[in-house]
Amino acid sequence: MAKVKRIDHVAILVDDLEKHLSFWRDALGLEMTQIVDVPAEKSAVAFLPVGGSEIELVKPTTDDSGLARQLEKRGPGMHHICLEVDDIDGMFARLKEKGIQLLSDAPKMGVGGRKYAFIHPKSANGVLVELYELPQ
Amino acid sequence: MAKVKRIDHVAILVDDLEKHLSFWRDALGLEMTQIVDVPAEKSAVAFLPVGGSEIELVKPTTDDSGLARQLEKRGPGMHHICLEVDDIDGMFARLKEKGIQLLSDAPKMGVGGRKYAFIHPKSANGVLVELYELPQ
């Protein structure tokens, strides 16, 4: 049976990477390994690994994305939690069967063969949950 | 120098434990190890370990707590992220020195000798961050 393995990352929506890195990196002392531009999601992401998981700071790079609108409406804050699963197809099928709302009809293929899917916050008590499976 | 070791837990504010366990436990398949009543915080907490971290579902048990007011105002959703640190006194001093706002004047002593402190969301781009150190 498909299983959740661990918390992969917690994504935090920010309006300015440098400003917020001054807290997470400079004050808390987390290492910031890279900033990656993700044109497909109209955002730039700063990665801060911490004990096998990561904090990700996500900054919209345009004004017209869902992320940008959410930032405009709610301000910076926690955006989603990502859980690594061992079998995303199996998990996806089980969630559908149990009536959980998903944001796509099937898992999507991401960068580096990583398959992922999002669960609608309506089905996860207000939390946007991402699931992903590393390529074997 | 004081360091963050890992994400200890992500706390999710809920209005009904059983209703939300139907997602986290029954659909996602996480194990729910215990539900603990925490009168000091006027809440009940369900613990769901996942890969060295935990998801915690926090339900206010009265109508007059800060948690209950937040639930009333914003609805269920992510509440805070807790990071384990190796030296909370050292971390607390460094954060203060850097002008980070904390919710107490010093780390507090919790259940089982666990010392903890909260960082004000104003200083952590909208995220309520808990720090804690396990007793040696």
CATH of the domain at A117: 3.10.180.10
Q: Can you give the residue range of the structural domain that contains B64?
A: 4-133
CB B14 within 8 A of CB B58: yes
Contact list, B28 vs chain A (CB under 8 Å): 4, 83, 91, 95
Q: Write the residue in A28, A95, A127 that is nearest to B4 by C-beta.
A: A28
Q: Write the residue in A2, A26, A77 that is nearest to B127 by C-beta.
A: A77
To the nearest whole angstrom, how far is the Cα of A30 from the nearest Cα of chain B?
7
Closest CA to B9 of B51, B61, B71: B51
What is the enclosing helix (H) or strand (E) of B108?
strand B108-109
B21 touches chain A (CB under 8 A): no
The CA–CA distances, whole Å, from A23 to A6, A103, A125, B82 equal: 25, 32, 28, 15
Q: How many CB atoms lie within 10 A of CB A113?
A: 10
Q: How many CB atoms lie within 10 A of CB A44?
A: 17
List per-residue pLDDT tens for chain A, 136 residues long: 899 999 999 999 999 999 999 999 999 999 999 999 988 889 999 999 999 999 999 999 999 999 999 999 989 999 999 999 999 999 999 999 999 999 999 999 987 788 999 999 999 989 999 999 988 7
Cα-only R_g, chain B: 15
CB A9 within 8 A of CB A53: yes
A103 touches chain B (CB under 8 A): no
- Pick out chain B residues at pLDDT < 50: none
| Record: contact B51-A7, CB cut-off 8 A | yes
The CA–CA distances, whole Å, from B73 to B22, B70, B88, B114 equal: 24, 5, 32, 30
> The pTM is what?
0.94
Q: How many CB atoms lie within 10 A of CB A18?
A: 12
To the nearest whole angstrom, how far is the Cα of A66 from the nearest Cα of chain B?
18
Spatial distance between the Cα atoms of B59 and B71, rounded to a whole number of angstroms = 9
Quote the pLDDT of residue A135: 83
Spatial distance between the Cα atoms of B7 and A49, rounded to a whole number of angstroms = 10
B73 touches chain A (CB under 8 A): no
Pairing of strands A4-13, B53-60: unpaired
Number of folded domains that form chain B:
1
Q: What's the DSSP call for residue B75?
A: -
Contact list, A100 vs chain B (CB under 8 Å): 23, 27
* Tokens (6 digits) for B85: 């640190």
